[in-house]
Structure 1
Amino acid sequence: MPDAAERLAERLGRFETLAIAVSGGVDSMTLATFAHRLGRPSITVIHAVSPAVPREATERVRDLASAEGWQTIITGAGEFDDPRYRDNPVNRCYFCKTNLYDRIRCLTPHVTASGANLDDLGDYRPGLMAAAEREVVHPFVEAQMTKAEVRALARRLGLAYIAELPAQPCLASRVETGIAIDANDLAFVESTERRLAGLAAKGATLRCRITHGGVVLELGDDALPRRVELEKIVAALCAESGRRFAGARAYNRGSMFVRP
């Protein structure tokens, strides 16, 4: 049976051109690098900036694009102009991806590809519906590649620092369903998490959540040894910005999606 890289090369080989939506995470960065080095298809990398995208992600895209010689377009997806997105319903990601993929279609006639992998199909991902409606392709899914295989491919490509990136969904994922998405809230989340990341163990899981009860700090097992110190910092940052700190708790993936 062909290995993961061979399966991926086979799936990519059916395209002459692709527009790859690159968020700055391990999946899309690995896909763009592999496809570009493969030589076929010819790729255009599209990276969308917004208050929901961490600055570090944009910097990674710019740096790797320069190193690899990608044809790159940095754009705004315009989701903050969409009240359906800002209202933050449980399917907010559908409206986010709708705006992103519609924007890409305005920029290029090429087929759009995402970095979704096989493991993503088991999560609640309304954005995949928006992708299906716009005939976005998912080469990793077609090649039956899991997240672990994507990380292994990144290492094989010499992208060890990319391979070790922790899962980092958009900043809007820190806001509980029903709370309007606000750029100031996202800036607070980003700056708080950046401050905490310098104190916890490298790659430790931590999330600053905006909930109906106030700001909540969620910590993975790898961050728990410094819980007291991290709590004090977040409490102080909340006090400075006039926010209510509701304490710390164990990390719970997807906890901000509150379904009826």
Structure 2
Amino acid sequence: MTPSNVKKLVAYFNQFERFSIAVSGGIDSMILAYIANRFSKAKVKVVHAFSPAVPEAALQRVKAHAKRYQWDVQIVNAREFADPNYINNPLNRCYFCKSNLYTRIAECSQGVIFSGTNLDDLSDYRPGLEAAKEQNVKHPYVEVGIDKVGIYEIADHFGLAELHALPAQPCLASRVETGIKINAGDLGFINKIEEKTRLLLPKQKNIRCRITLKGAFLEVDKLPESRLFDELSNVLGQMCEQEGHIFSGIRTYQKGSAFINGVAHV
């Protein structure tokens, strides 16, 4: 039996003859693309914007699913690194990122643009939503009342185990403390640290490497036992030294939406 959430989404999609979906490679937008392509009557285009702020794994995931399910996919350059407002990393950096993203998608799309924003996102500090509003981007999950739990339920129903297993994965730039300029080298370093940590701590869901004025921190859901803690600290300390960063330690993951008053929340 088709879940009621899926029926609501399909009914919403079918109001449109054609639309594009901004797909980051995370579970929210990937599930949106899966349902739209499988069940809606509309002509659907999937658009993924590559950028130093997006892990290579996300791009490969989008390509793999597009091939498997025969999606009409287009890969574009987000070009946010050409925007000094983004590079300067103010508190509302996400606004400039999304402004560039939706402008690029609009250049190659026909019809309305959809995002994977869900109900839970509305309770967080997300300046990118203002950019979406300015460019008339719509949020199907919000329109039909679906939160993060509902998205995971859809993934589970259709047996999309790979997507169901994905943790929340904001862009890599969200790991850089407000006011520290964004550069591609730092984002690549962040990705390396997080990938290495996943190999050593495969059961940890949320893993973040934070670049702060006090150095680079690793955040995980639960601190590992002492032997593994020391091993991980040594490995990451060496990686930081090789990349010219100060390793400032491992601490417990904090959830939220931005660096505010020196505290990381994404």
TM-score normalized with structure 2 length: 0.93
Cα deviation code 1:37-78 (max 9, x no counterpart): 013221100000010000110010000000010111000111
Tell me, yes or no, if the aligned pair for 1:171 and 1:190 is still in contact at 8 Å: yes
Query: What runs of 5+ residues in structure 1 fail to find an aligned partner?
Result: none
**Alpha-carbon distance, 1:128 to partner:** 0.6
* 3-state SS of paired residue (1:9): helix
**Alpha-carbon distance, 1:259 to partner:** 5.4
Who is 1:75 aligned against? 76
Who is 1:214 aligned against? 215
Who is 1:111 aligned against? 112
Who is 2:172 aligned against? 171
Cα deviation code 1:165-188 (max 9, x no counterpart): 001111001100000001000010
Tell me, yes or no, if the aligned pair for 1:165 and 1:203 is still in contact at 8 Å: no
Who is 1:92 aligned against? 93
Tell me, yes or no, if the aligned pair for 2:14 and 2:40 is still in contact at 8 Å: no
**Alpha-carbon distance, 1:104 to partner:** 0.9
* 3-state SS of paired residue (2:168): coil
Following the alignment from structure 2 to structure 1, what is the Cα–Cα distance between the partners of residues 168 and 58?
12
Are 2:255 and 1:227 equivalent residues in the alignment? no
Following the alignment from structure 1 to structure 2, what is the Cα–Cα distance between the partners of residues 185 and 259?
21
Following the alignment from structure 2 to structure 1, what is the Cα–Cα distance between the partners of residues 244 and 26?
32
Closer/same/farther in 2, CA of residues 197 and 170 from structure 1, 3 Å limit: same
* 3-state SS of paired residue (1:52): coil
Who is 1:194 aligned against? 195
Following the alignment from structure 1 to structure 2, what is the Cα–Cα distance between the partners of residues 139 and 68?
21
TM-score normalized with structure 1 length: 0.95
Q: CA RMSD in A?
A: 1.5
Who is 1:22 aligned against? 23
Closer/same/farther in 2, CA of residues 230 and 254 from structure 1, 3 Å limit: farther
Aligned length: 258
Matches within 5 A, 1:30-179: 30-179=31-180
Q: Larger deviation: 3-12 or 113-122?
A: 3-12
Who is 1:237 aligned against? 239
* 3-state SS of paired residue (2:200): coil
> How much identity, in percent, do the aligned residues show?
47
* 3-state SS of paired residue (1:198): helix
Tell me, yes or no, if the aligned pair for 2:88 and 2:179 is still in contact at 8 Å: yes
**Alpha-carbon distance, 1:203 to partner:** 4.6
What stretches of structure 1 move > 6 A for 4+ residues in a row? none
**Alpha-carbon distance, 1:256 to partner:** 4.8
Following the alignment from structure 2 to structure 1, what is the Cα–Cα distance between the partners of residues 60 and 66?
10
